[in-house]
Amino acid sequence: MNSDAKRAYIVTMLFIFISLASVLISLNTGTLHISPIKVIQTFFGYGDFKSTTILFDYRMPRILITMLAGVGLGISGAILQGISRNPLADPGILGLHAGASFGLVIFVTYFHSMDEKASILIPLFTFGGGVLAAFLIVVLSYERYKGIIPIRLILVGIAVSAGFSAVTLFLSLRLNEETYTFASRWLVGNVWGRDWIHVIALLPWILILVPYTWFQSKTLNALSLGDDVAAGLGASVERNRLLMLATAVGLSCASVAMAGGIGFIGLVAPHLARRLVGSMYQHFLPVSGLIGMVILVLADTIGRSIFAPNAIPAGIVVAAIGAPYFLYLLTKTK
C-alpha cells in the first residue's frame, strides 16, 4: 500500500468513526431525550416501549434518509466536478435540483394521491426532472469543436435553474393547501415526517449507483484530466461522460427526492475530501460520500435541537454553511 492509499484508508476510517458518532448523537437528540447507553440497549432489543417507538418509528427513518442522501449528494458533486473539470460544479448550482423540484411538483400536481405508497414514485419524477435539466444544460453549454465549456456550464446551469424555479413556483401556487404545504416543506430541505417507505424508495439508488461510481474511478480520473488526455488513455470520452452524468443525476435527484432541495453538499464535500486525500477518485470518492453524510446528519440534528421547539429545516442549515464556503471558493478559483 503506497502512502496516498494509506492516507486515504486512515482518513476513511476516521470519517466512518465520525459518521457513527454523528448518528449516535442524532439518535440521542430530540424533544424526548434518550441517553447513548439507552440507544445502544434499544438496538440490541433491551429498550422499553417508549425508546423503541421513538427510535424505530420516528428517528431512525429520518436519520437513514439524511445518511443516504448525504452520501448521494457528496458523490454526485464529485462526479460533476470531474466530468466538467470545474471545481464549482454542484447539483444545486448546475440546476439539477431545480429540475428535480420541477419533477416533484409535476408529481404532486397531476399524479399523486397523498398515499404513503405513492412516495416510492417520487424519485422517478425527480430523476425525470433532473434529466431534463441536465439535457438542457449540456445542449446549451456545448460548442462545436470545443465540447462543453466549463464557465458556460455554470452560467447555463444558473439560467436553467432560474427557469425551472419560476415554473415550479407557478405550479405550486395552484396547489391546494395540503399539497402545497407538503411541496413547500420539501423544497426547503425538510426531512421531518420521513418514514420507512421513503428509506426503501431511496436505498436502491444509493446501493447501485455509489458502488458503480467507485468502480468507474479510473474513468473519472481520465475525464478530469481533459478530453485529449482521456482519449489518449483509451477512454470513450463522450460515452463515459454521458454515463457518469446520468449517474450524477440519478444520485442527486434520488437524494433530493427524499431529503428535499438541499444544496451545497455536492460542492463542499468533494472539496474537503480532495484536500484531505488528494485528487485520485478511488481515494476521495468514499471520503466525499462520508463527509456529505456527516454534514447532512449534523445539519438535521442542529436544526431540530439548537432551535427547539422551532425546528429549522436541514436545507437551511446546510445553506448557512455552504453559501459562505461557495463564495470563498469563488474568490480562490481562477
Per residue in 145-179, pLDDT (tens digit) is 666 666 677 788 888 989 998 998 888 888 887 77
Output b/e per residue, 42-73; b: 16+ Cβ within 10 A: beeeebeeebeebbeebbbbbbbbbbbbbbbb
pTM of the model: 0.87
pLDDT digits (tens, 9 = 90+) for 29-85: 777 777 778 777 777 777 777 788 888 777 888 889 999 999 999 999 999 888 877
Q: With bands split at pLDDT 50, 70 and 90, how would you rate the model's confidence at 107?
A: confident
DSSP classification of residue 143 = E
Q: Across all residues in the chain, what is the average pLDDT?
A: 82
- Residue 261 amino acid letter: G
As given in the structure block, the three cell numbers for residue 305 are 435541537
Of 204, 192, 225, 211, the closest CA to residue 68 belongs to 204
Judge contact between 78 and 281, C-beta under 8 A: yes
More confident of the two residues 203 and 190: 203
Q: For a pLDDT cut of 70, what percent of the chain falls above it?
A: 89
**pLDDT tens string 202-214:** 899 999 999 999 9
Res. 131 pLDDT band, cuts 50 70 90: confident
H-helix or E-strand containing 148? strand 147-148
Confidence of residue 218 (pLDDT cuts 50, 70, 90): confident
For residue 142, the surrounding DSSP H or E stretch is strand 142-143
